[in-house]
């Protein structure tokens, strides 16, 4: 046979042999890695894939704080070798289910878990910036899985981590008998948040996140937590930027007040004897500890939370923001235009009425009530007790203290201030039945960033605002500045000529009358 045909026959035979080998499974080709499986320092986890994202739910970042670990700093979780299922939410922390925003879900002391939302393009070789979200709920309620982050992670092209942390008495009881082994007291939930941030530092690269580009973010109690991390020594170095939404950072208790309130709380649980208080409290079932020590009251609302003047939180962030030991990082900070109307609506629905205007002011502001009533007369609000009272708390507790915090921080690092002003933002059906407008109330901006249920969907104009906000927030997480091409320029805050971005349907705009509209000079004069 001539040489040419021979060589052709050999090539044909070789190709045929390779086909047979491949068909019989004898190929040595490298198998494609499963993108839903990621190996953490504690063991492998299998998540799920959604539209444009991979989702890993209920991933432990610390051991269950039970038995001898109750009221102690978190410790590392027990490692595992088999692939762990991460396709459903982890347990929520023990909380007061009477005001539960997520009815029917399991609560447990074994709740120190988190969820990772990673855009499909995020890999260890192509990492994305990270936003760690700390949920609100007055340090008494809430959970990480309320904040579905598919659009924020996918469209923003960032990794989002939402975390659970101990709440109420289990998270923040500052009884003198409960001093932790590290010498701290009352800050177990804050220690959980720090443990989650360390987990992100050590593990997020495997999910396609960049541990050198972490932004901490939160709303309400979550924003107060962010304030605390700015001054907490053990939080230093764990993030490079901060987002604070509707967080009155001054609404926190110092150690003497927290100890007094915690001692009374323990006595109410049958643990009033100082000599046996620790043993008695540790013996209580978790169900007896669903509420928490009432450290701060804002009208009918109660906040628990971290305790100031302790090793973990030595100073109050609101008092040292201008001068003092505070981390200098770019900050995005703001409030909603009508912060307190939602709380007033809930009180109205619960009692089918409101107390007289003067009574509400006295319960909230004490001896200052007459002066505040004169400054916020009922006739200015059409005779509406609800709207007048909501305006006082919106301005005096939220808007103006946050404005002061923003101005103080602006002297130390770039600050970008906003006000959310969609006065037709969706609310739950019962709330819509109250005889006064809700407006742009506390927490209503959240569904513009996260996929949340419980209210009608956003209309087309609100969807457009939502896309705008996601673009600004994710750009800030990515670069430390919300300088998003194609959108209105968001100026850096200058306390001498304060401007902020007003986020609203029909076109967001830059405004400079925030302090005047919220009467911040008056509130500053009240101390």
| Alpha-carbon Rg for the chain in angstroms | 26
| Active-site pick, 442, 445, 468, 474 | 442
User: What SS3 class is residue 53?
Assistant: strand
- Reply yes or no on whether 220 is catalytic: yes
Rounded to a whole number, what is the distance in angstroms from the first to the last CA of the chain? Answer: 105
Distance CA 524, CA 408 (A): 14
Q: How many CA atoms lie within 13 A of 506 on its CB side?
A: 4
Distance CA 211, CA 201 (A): 5
* 359 contact partners, CB below 8 Å, separation of at least 6: none
- Reply yes or no on whether 79 is catalytic: no
What residue spans of 184-335 are helical by DSSP H? 188-203, 221-231, 255-268, 277-283, 317-320
Distance CA 119, CA 382 (A): 49
DSSP string, 74-107: --PPPP--SPEE-SSPPPEES--GGG-SSTT--E
| Active-site pick, 220, 304, 347, 474 | 220
Do the Cβ atoms of 224 and 402 come closer than 8 Å? no
Query: Whose CA is closest to 131, among 213, 238, 36?
Result: 213
Distance CA 137, CA 361 (A): 23
Do the Cβ atoms of 430 and 349 come closer than 8 Å? yes
Query: Cα 47 to chain center, whole Å?
Result: 22
CA dihedral sign, ordered 439, 443, 449, 452: negative
* Number of residues that this document lists for the chain: 527
The secondary structure of residue 458, as a DSSP letter, is P
159 forms beta bridges with 130
- Reply yes or no on whether 322 is catalytic: no
Do the Cβ atoms of 375 and 319 come closer than 8 Å? no
| Active-site pick, 57, 339, 419, 445 | 339
The residue written with tokens 């170095």 in the block is 237
β-strand 209-219 against 500-503: which pairing, if any?
unpaired
Quickly count: other Cβ atoms within 10 Å of residue 524's Cβ. Answer: 13
Distance CA 226, CA 329 (A): 12
The secondary structure of residue 181, as a DSSP letter, is T
Token pair of 287 as six digits: 């169900």
Active-site positions read: 220, 339, 442
């Amino acid at each position: 046979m001539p040489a040419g045909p021979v060589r052709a026959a050999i090539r044909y035979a070789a190709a045929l042999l390779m086909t047979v080998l491949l068909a019989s499974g004898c190929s040595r080709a490298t198998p494609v890695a499963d993108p839903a499986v990621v190996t953490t320092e504690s063991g492998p986890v299998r998540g799920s894939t959604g539209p444009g994202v991979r989702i890993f739910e209920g991933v432990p970042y610390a051991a269950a704080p039970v038995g001898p670990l109750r009221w102690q700093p978190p410790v590392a979780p027990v490692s595992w070798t088999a692939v762990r299922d991460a396709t459903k939410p982890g347990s929520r922390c023990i909380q007061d289910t009477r005001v539960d925003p997520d009815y029917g879900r399991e609560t447990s002391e074994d709740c120190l878990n988190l969820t990772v939302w990673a855009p499909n393009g995020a890999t260890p070789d192509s990492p994305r910036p990270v936003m760690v979200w700390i949920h609100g709920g007055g340090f008494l309620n809430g959970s990480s899985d309320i904040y579905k982050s598919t659009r924020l992670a996918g469209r923003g092209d960032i990794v989002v981590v939402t975390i659970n942390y101990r709440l109420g008495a289990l998270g923040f009881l500052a009884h003198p008998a409960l001093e932790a082994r590290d010498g701290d007291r009352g800050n177990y939930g804050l220690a959980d948040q720090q443990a989650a941030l360390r987990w992100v530092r050590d593990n997020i690269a495997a999910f396609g996140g960049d541990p050198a580009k972490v932004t901490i973010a939160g709303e309400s109690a979550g924003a107060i937590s962010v304030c605390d991390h700015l001054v907490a020594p053990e939080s230093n170095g764990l993030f490079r930027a901060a987002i604070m939404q509707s967080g009155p950072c001054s609404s926190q208790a110092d150690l003497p007040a927290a100890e007094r309130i915690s001692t009374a709380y323990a006595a109410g649980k049958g643990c009033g004897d100082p000599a046996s208080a620790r043993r008695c409290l540790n013996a209580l079932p978790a169900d007896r500890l669903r509420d928490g020590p009432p450290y701060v009251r804002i009208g009918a609302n109660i906040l628990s939370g971290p305790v100031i003047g302790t090793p973990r939180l030595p100073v109050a962030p609101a008092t040292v923001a201008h001068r003092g030991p505070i981390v200098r990082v770019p900050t995005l900070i703001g409030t909603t235009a009508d912060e307190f109307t939602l709380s007033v609506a809930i009180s109205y629905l619960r009692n089918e009425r409101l107390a007289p205007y003067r009574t509400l002011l006295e319960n909230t502001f004490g001896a200052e009530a007459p002066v505040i009533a004169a400054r916020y007369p009922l006739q200015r609000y059409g005779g509406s007790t609800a709207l007048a009272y909501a305006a006082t708390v919106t301005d005096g507790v939220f808007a103006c203290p946050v404005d002061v915090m923003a101005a103080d921080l602006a002297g130390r690092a770039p600050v970008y201030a906003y006000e959310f002003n969609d006065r037709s933002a969706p609310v739950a059906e019962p709330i819509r039945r109250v005889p006064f407008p809700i407006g742009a109330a506390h927490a209503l901006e959240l569904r513009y960033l996260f996929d949340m249920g419980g209210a009608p969907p956003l209309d087309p104009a609100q969807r457009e605002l939502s896309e705008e906000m996601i673009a600004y927030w994710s750009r800030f997480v990515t670069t430390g500045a919300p300088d998003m091409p194609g959108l209105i320029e968001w100026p850096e805050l200058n306390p001498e000529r304060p401007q902020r971005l007003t986020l609203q349907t029909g076109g967001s705009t830059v405004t400079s009358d925030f302090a005047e509209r919220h009467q911040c000079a008056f509130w500053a004069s009240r101390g």
